[in-house]
Amino acid sequence: MTTRLPSYLNFNHATYAWQPDVDYRKHPDLYRVGKGEQGVLICEPYKSEIGQHWRFKTVEIAEKSSTVILKMFEDYLAANDFVGADMARKFLQMGYTRARRYANYKGGKKYDAEHNYAQLERGTGDPEKAKAAAIFYEKYKTAEANQQYAAMKKHWKHERG
């Protein structure tokens, strides 16, 4: 079996499309949509605005968190702030993926750093996190299906990447 190292081991910050020293509200032209959750933990001020609400420890917490973030997504759209809406969508997606990671792997750890980053045994995680993930997934899909967001995203990608 070939060991596939986690991508974060050889990460090059200098060439990454999102930079921590940029205010993306003041300079939205520098924002790129990217794939999946790229940039979600970098792009300020959105990271701080949305991130403070991002939680998935229990089903109840995930429901509250995802509802608040979906509302923020809608508020950003109402303000014609595509970057904010896309970041909120990314936090919803990340709520799903991170909760799934904790559902699949004990402690959320997928790789064993002490053994050449071998992938750990799947199915050892927290079943409640699977329910939390489902809650975030539903809200993430709601955001993705929003017609205004889809049109803005298509236009943004065409214009800026």
* Tens of pLDDT, residues 34-74: 888 988 999 999 999 999 999 999 999 999 999 999 999 99
Instruction: Tell whether 14 is covered by a domain.
Output: no
Does residue 10 register a pLDDT over 80?
no
> In the predicted model, what is the mean pLDDT of residues 83-89?
98
Instruction: Tell whether 129 is covered by a domain.
Output: yes
Asked, as a colleague might, if the bond just before 45 is cis with ω within 30 of 0, I would say yes
Q: Which domain holds residue 139?
A: 19-159
Distance CA 5, CA 10 (A): 9
Instruction: Tell whether 77 is covered by a domain.
Output: yes
Instruction: Tell whether 155 is covered by a domain.
Output: yes
Banded pLDDT at 1 (limits 50, 70, 90): very low
DSSP class of residue 122 equals S
- Which of 8-12, 100-104, 153-157 has the least mean pLDDT? 8-12
CA-wise closest residue to 33 among 141, 137, 158: 158
pTM for the predicted model, two decimal places: 0.86
Looking at the structure of the chain, the number of domains it has is: 1
Instruction: Tell whether 117 is covered by a domain.
Output: yes
Instruction: Tell whether 6 is covered by a domain.
Output: no
Residue 35 pLDDT? 87
Instruction: Tell whether 1 is covered by a domain.
Output: no
Residue 78 pLDDT? 98
Instruction: Tell whether 5 is covered by a domain.
Output: no
